[in-house]
């Protein structure tokens, strides 16, 4: 069994001040995928995660204090690949792929479009431009688990107020249609395999007591290749963990 956690920490150093390390040590996950680390590997203590029992694999943004992904693994990967080979996205540190014997883990931070219409357009361009990369990834590596903050609500069940009319980025028809294609063609939604009718959220706005009222969105996913979708044994939203505006999501896999 492998326990794989995905977590948008919204700043790694900030999460560490809130008890992140103790939580990692207590749970002893096999793989931990962080998004939005907001720090450069050059600023990190190279021994830090080793002391917790993990190998660390970074893909950082060029801009300091922005974006970035980090994957921690107990087992050393056979191969490490960072980036899409598309400069405007790779400069933002958005994906790292690790290959193990018989399977691969991809850690991806999809752009948010909530800051402006310009960023929403950038997000839609990202989705369109990178889809062939993901398609090739699944075709070549076969058994892939692709985790991360997708910044898209898929079903009405995945948002507390699906009847809203203000058309926010993250809940627009064109994004949700893209995710329909994603789950039809490339992957299965690991959470929905185990819990097809359950409502659970992974992100809550810091505004207006959204977390306390459970007014959330499910925008963090663990997607699994259809070839190994039967390997999902359990899935959890760790809602009680409040190191970020997201909560960690954990998939348990028989791989």
Write the pLDDT tens digit of every residue in 143-186. Answer: 999 999 999 999 999 999 999 989 999 999 999 999 999 999 99
Q: What is the pLDDT of residues 83-107, one digit of tens each?
A: 999 999 999 999 999 999 999 999 9
pLDDT at 44 over 90: no
Which range of residues forms the domain containing residue 80? 2-253
162 contacts: CB under 8 Å, gap ≥ 6: 156
The answer to whether 109 is a known catalytic residue is: yes
Q: Cα torsion at 68, 228, 2, 243 (round to 10°)?
A: 40
Q: What confidence score (pLDDT) does residue 198 get?
A: 97
pLDDT in the model for residue 45: 85
Strand ranges of the sheet holding 144-149, from the earlier edge strand across to the other edge: 79-82, 95-100, 103-109, 144-149, 220-225, 187-189
pLDDT at 224: 98
CATH label of the domain that carries residue 61: 3.60.10.10
Residue 229, CA atoms < 13 Å, CB-side half-sphere? 17
Distance CA 243, CA 8 (A): 9
Active site residue 214: no
Nearest to 71 by CA among 84, 90, 58: 58
Question: Per the residue annotation, which of 54, 109, 221, 235 is the catalytic one?
Answer: 109
The 3-state DSSP class for residue 191 equals: helix
What pLDDT score does 56 carry?
A: 97
Count of domains for the chain:
1
Q: Which single residue is written with the structure tokens 């700043």?
A: 11
DSSP label of 160: S
Instruction: Answer yes or no: is pLDDT of 217 > 90.
Output: yes
What is this structure's pTM?
0.97
Given the residues 149, 158, 188, 220, the one annotated as active site: 149
pLDDT at 14: 95
Question: Is the distance from CB of 253 to CB of 19 less than 8 angstroms?
Answer: no
Contact status, residue 6 vs residue 252, Cβ threshold 8 Å: no
């Amino acid at each position: 069994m492998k326990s794989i956690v995905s977590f948008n920490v919204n700043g790694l150093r900030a999460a560490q001040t809130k008890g992140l390390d103790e939580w990692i040590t207590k749970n002893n996950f096999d793989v931990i995928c962080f998004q939005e680390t907001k720090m450069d590997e050059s600023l990190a203590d190279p021994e830090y995660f080793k002391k917790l029992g993990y190998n660390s694999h970074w893909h950082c943004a060029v801009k300091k204090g922005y974006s970035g992904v980090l994957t921690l693994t107990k087992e050393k990967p056979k191969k490490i690949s960072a980036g899409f080979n598309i400069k405007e996205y790779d400069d933002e540190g958005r994906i790292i792929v690790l290959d193990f014997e018989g399977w691969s883990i991809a850690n991806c931070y999809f752009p948010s479009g909530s800051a402006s219409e310009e960023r929403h357009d950038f997000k839609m361009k990202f989705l369109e431009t990178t889809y062939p990369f993901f398609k090739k990834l699944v075709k070549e590596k076969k058994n892939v688990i692709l985790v991360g903050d997708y910044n898209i609500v898929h079903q009405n069940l995945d948002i507390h107020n699906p009847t809203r009319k203000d058309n926010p980025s993250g809940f627009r028809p064109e994004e949700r249609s893209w995710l329909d294609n994603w789950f039809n063609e490339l992957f299965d939604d690991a959470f929905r395999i185990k819990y097809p009718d359950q409502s659970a959220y992974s992100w809550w706005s810091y505004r207006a007591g959204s977390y306390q009222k459970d007014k959330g969105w499910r925008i963090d996913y663990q997607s699994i290749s259809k070839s190994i979708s039967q390997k999902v044994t359990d899935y959890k939203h760790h809602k009680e963990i409040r190191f970020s505006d997201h909560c960690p999501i954990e998939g348990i896999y028989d791989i």
